[in-house]
Amino acid sequence: MQAQAAEVWVFFRPDIPLHVDTVKYLKGITKENLVFCPVGKTSLSFLESRPPACAVVLGDAAQQLALSMLWKVKILVTLLDQPTEDKRIVYLNTNQPVALQIQLLKSLQRNLETIWYPYVSGRFAPDEAFQKAASSAGVAIKSSSLDDPRSLPAALRYLNFGNTAAILPPDPGIMNDAIIKSILLASFRSHTPIAGFSDGMVRQGAAFAYILSPENLAEAISEKIDEMVKDQHSLAPRSDFERWDLILNATILEKFNLVVPGEVREKAKKIY
């Protein structure tokens, strides 16, 4: 006899394409009964009507809505920097995979000593995970706060030092056209490879980026749903997203006279 599908509530923002696409793919692969709870369209009376088997949350606003539930069920939270302290929460961390980024930069630039890391918003300042990854790889981080755009020319001098690479965080402030173009131009002139965070940035001249696709995120969430439905007590409170797609700019790396190892090319989802 087939087990009855568990009811899983999915909280997300209907105005964010990554949320909408992830939910769409999730619907196609999970065998459980998904109930969509979009932010701004889900009433408190519905949340109080009955308990789900478990819940999935995409982003900060969705987390706020989901935590207004009184039910003691597991809540998988992802696509945010840091979850709220709540015993029900299971966190899937989708922050940039800094250890992977550093590892790849080292395989491209054997004598790598320093990573320049610019940021605008304080929430993107180098965190403990970044410091730990850099330390275990034997590289130093030189971070620059670009909160004042006038500090950019001085900060760009880091790219002229030998044995240096750069990692750019997904900071909306960095995406300012003037800032990103200045960084990529300085990188091109100094032959300093940059780890970006989007396909568009790699097209513009970053050496590579690890991309989170909605399909891969949906697969990771689907596995977590299976775990939550089967056994809520054995779940680790935190895990890291691992299904990153590598986008590589082989053209720019050749111009920098950097050799792309064969195994790196094989892993790349897309090569420019």
If asked whether residues 103 and 196 sit together in one domain, one would say yes
| CATH number of residue 125's parent domain | 3.40.50.2300
Residue 246's pLDDT band (boundaries 50, 70, 90)? very high
If asked whether residues 26 and 154 sit together in one domain, one would say no
Largest Cα–Cα distance in the chain? 69
Choose between 234 and 19: higher pLDDT. 19
pLDDT at 249 over 50: yes
In the chain, pLDDT over 90 holds for what percent of residues? 93
The answer to whether residue 2 is domain-embedded is no
The answer to whether residue 235 is domain-embedded is yes
pLDDT at 83 over 70: yes
Q: Is residue 185 within 8 Å of 177, Cβ to Cβ?
A: no
Structural domain boundaries, residue 184: 98-211+246-271
If asked whether residues 207 and 222 sit together in one domain, one would say no
Place of tokens 């949350």: 57
Q: Is residue 26 within 8 Å of 218, Cβ to Cβ?
A: yes
Residues 6+ apart with CB under 8 A from 110: none
Q: How many domains does the chain have?
A: 2
Choose between 234 and 52: higher pLDDT. 52
Residue 233's pLDDT band (boundaries 50, 70, 90)? confident
First-last CA distance in the chain: 51
Q: Dihedral, CA atoms, 252, 141, 91, 70, nearest 10 degrees? A: -120
In the chain, pLDDT over 70 holds for what percent of residues? 99
Could you count the other beta carbons within 10 Å of the beta carbon of residue 61? 18
The answer to whether residue 103 is domain-embedded is yes
